[in-house]
Amino acid sequence: MREHPRVVIVGGGFAGLRAARGLRRASVRVTLIDRQNHHLFQPLLYQVATAAVSPANIAQPIRKVFRRQHNVDVVMGEVRGIDAEARAVRVGERAYTYDWLVLASGARDSYFGHDDWRAFAPPLKTIDDALEIRRRFLGAFERAETGRDDASRRAALTFVIVGGGPTGVELAGAMAELSDHTIRRDFRAVDTSTARIVLVEGRGRLLSQFDPKLSEIALHDLHDLGVEVMLDSMVTSIDASGVSIERAEGATRIETANVVWAAGVRASPLGAMLGAPTDASGRVEVDADLSVPGRPEVFVVGDLARVLDGATGGDVPGMAPGAMQMGSHVGEIIAGEARALAAGRPAPARTAFVYRDKGMMATIGRNRAVAQLAGRRVGGMLAWLLWAGVHIFYLIGFRSKVLTMIEWAWSYVFYERGARLITGVDAERDDRDA
């Protein structure tokens, strides 16, 4: 009996998961490789970083996701090489051969050539990053509580977030609410509401992908929450004691040890290994069917692909809906070709990928959000409810949906945040003592 043809999918994010699911009825053997053992719902990472939800609520073991899809083998490992001629990807000593390859390894943070800033300004991309930010953020209030004088307390309670896109805005709003309400009555020596939260953005407005009116609403809401927003401001250096910023009115410096980097991403380096053309941020320029030019058996999807949106002429935004749609599209193509192969028929003509714009949303705080849906702009409570509904809907796993809803309802009623744990302190102490 002929073996089933093999599909290798690299990345168990939004795109990779959809591609694998699209192959559930296909006569293929799928190997899904990810360096993490879990699928991560990145849109809610900021809630882990600000102690609103527990990490397990937004991450699902990939093995569990495919427990009932018997044609999928899950491999936990980091792909370090792709041999497109031999049709194989390399994980450690092993090579996994494929008839079709789906590359869905996403994007990673980028410090625009200043990788030395990373030690002082962690990014927000993985669960570990979120826990590190949570540790630094909550730890700062503990340091302020035992600070010797007002100056040391003020320095401990200054937070700078670099990048005014959705992640920066969401983090700044959540941090302001936490220090103003949630933890205020838990401290004795320090008034946590005096925390200074600064959001630094290089462009002239926040949420630059959104309609300008929504950027204004976000700015207004953040001001209301006490966040200091610096627009047209470029960070020029970050070190252990603070951040230097270049502004039209001159250079300024903020003394702080609490900086978060939410300013940029770069495509996974695996794209460059295909030898296909890439854009300035490392995304692979794919054909209309999402395959790599000259390699019809290799598809690139999600944040790693540069895809044109026929409707606007711009790029499909690097967001979850586009990644899911690309994954489904490629799953369908491969399933169709596998069917034709099994029946001894020629492969059907491939269809071009068409992006369906599902809109954009960002939340700023309790009852405050902005949403741009089907040409409509929505702000305030309605946008916030929409945001919550959409995120619960797309969270993977019934348990995660229920637990997250309970945690949100609890925080809404009691202004509480259930995941206020400072973890990783022992590791930090061991490093210091070594």
Ligand X SMILES: Cc1cc2nc3c(=O)[nH]c(=O)nc-3n(C[C@H](O)[C@H](O)[C@H](O)COP(=O)(O)OP(=O)(O)OC[C@H]3O[C@@H](n4cnc5c(N)ncnc54)[C@H](O)[C@@H]3O)c2cc1C
Show which residues are catalytic.
170
DSSP one-letter code for 77: S
Q: Give the one residue of 254, 320, 364, 395 binding ligand X; rule: CB under 6 A.
A: 320
The piece of 148-156, 173-181, 320-328, 375-383 that touches ligand X (CB under 6 A) is 320-328
Shortest CB 34 distance to ligand X, Å: 4
Residue from 42, 57, 372, 400 binding ligand X (CB under 6 A): 42
- Cα–Cα nearest to 173, from 57, 54, 53, 47: 47
Which residue, 155 or 316, is less far from ligand X as judged by CB?
316
Q: Stretches 136-144, 193-201, 215-223, 313-321: which one binds ligand X (CB under 6 A)? A: 313-321
CA separation for the pair 171, 163 (Å, rounded): 10
The least CB distance from residue 80 to ligand X, in Å, is 7
**One of 122, 168, 302, 365 touching ligand X (CB under 6 A):** 302
Considering only 55, 122, 166, 202, the residue that binds ligand X (CB under 6 A) is 166
Give the 3-state secondary structure of residue 205.
coil
396: left (phi over 0), alpha (psi -120 to 50) or beta: beta
Element (DSSP H or E) covering residue 296: strand 295-300
Structure tokens that stand for 111 in this block: 């410090």
Choose the binding region for ligand X from 37-45, 175-183, 239-247, 277-285 (rule: CB under 6 A). Answer: 37-45
Q: Tokens at residue 276, please?
A: 């296909």
For ligand X, the closer of residues 282 and 302 by Cβ is 302
HSE at residue 42, side-chain half, CA atoms within 13 A, is 22
- Burial label for 61, CB within 10 Å (0-12, 13-18, 19+), is middle
**With binding defined as CB under 6 A, does residue 43 bind ligand X?**
yes
The answer to the question of residue 329 lying near ligand X (CB under 6 A) is no
Here's the x/- map for ligand X, 6-35, by CB under 6 A: it reads as: ----xxxxxxx----------------xxx
Q: How far is CA 394 from CA 58, 171, 193, 318, 377, in A?
A: 10, 20, 34, 17, 21
Binding of residue 167 to ligand X (CB under 6 A): yes
Burial class (CB in 10 A: 0-12, 13-18, 19+), 285: middle
> For ligand X, how many residues bind (rule: CB under 6 A)?
34
Nearest in space to 112 (alpha carbons), one of 236, 231, 201, 200: 236
Residue choice 79, 217, 335, 378 for contact with ligand X (CB under 6 A):
79
Nearer to ligand X, 192 or 268 (CB): 268
Structure tokens belonging to residue 160: 């700078």
Site for ligand X in 217-256 (CB under 6 A): none
Place of tokens 């809401």: 221
Nearer to ligand X, 78 or 145 (CB): 78
Q: Which residues from 98-137 bind ligand X, rule CB under 6 A?
A: 104-106, 124-125
Closest C-alpha among 304, 266, 233, 273 to residue 114: 266
Indicate the residue among 242 and 318 with the shorter CB distance to ligand X.
318
Q: Give yes or no for a contact between 144 and 157, defined as CB atoms under 8 angstroms apart.
A: yes
CB of 44 to ligand X, least distance (A): 8
CB of 105 to ligand X, least distance (A): 4
Asked if residues 135 and 174 have their Cβ atoms less than 8 Å apart, the reply is no
Residues of this chain, 258-287, that bind ligand X according to CB under 6 A: 268, 270
Q: How far is the CB of 215 from ligand X (least distance, A)?
A: 16
Residues with Cβ within 8 Å of 124's Cβ and at least 6 positions away in sequence, in order, are 45, 46, 49, 109, 130, 133, 167, 171, 260, 261, 262
Binding residue for ligand X, selected from 27, 36, 328, 367, defined by CB under 6 A: 36
Rule CB under 6 A: which residues touch ligand X? 10-16, 33-36, 42-43, 45-46, 78-79, 104-106, 124-125, 166-167, 268, 270, 302-304, 318-321, 323
